[in-house]
Amino acid sequence: QQPVQSPQAVILREGEDAVINCSSSKALYSVHWYRQKHGEAPVFLMILLKGGEQKGHEKISASFNEKKQQSSLYLTASQLSYSGTYFCGTEITSGTYKYIFGTGTRLKVLA
């Protein structure tokens, strides 16, 4: 049930773009995106609720496909501060409530 993220790791130069995918075998109720820097707590980036939704936050945006089985996070013109591990997260609402994070994507931006 854990969403699978790809790629597992990516290295960029400043100014380059990246896409991180979060895929599930079943439709997701919602998708949250978090970034966690080394030794720090996860920080919320954005939430998507509806199939076909797209949302942006400065140079970071995300989409949720129509079937609600895949979400993508787009990082444009990356900055050094974008380095960290990105997690998607979702609620599993069949049976008992669960909140589960995806497998994670380690992103490193080099100067």
* Total residues binding another protein (CB under 8 A): 24
Q: How far is the CB of 57 from another protein (least distance, A)?
A: 12
- Binding another protein (rule: CB under 8 A), the pick from 22, 32, 35, 60 is 32
Q: How far is the CB of 99 from another protein (least distance, A)?
A: 5
Sequence-distant (≥ 6) Cβ neighbours of residue 30 within 8 angstroms: 47, 48, 49, 90, 91
CA distance linking residue 72 with residue 86, whole number of Å: 11
Looking at the Cβ atoms of 19 and 47, the one nearer to another protein is 47
- Binding another protein (rule: CB under 8 A), the pick from 11, 27, 49, 80 is 49
Torsion of CA 92, 39, 21, 28, to 10 degrees: 10
In the chain, how long is the greatest CA-to-CA distance? Answer: 47
The binding site for another protein (CB under 8 A) comprises 2, 29-30, 32, 40-44, 47, 49, 87, 89, 91, 93, 96-104
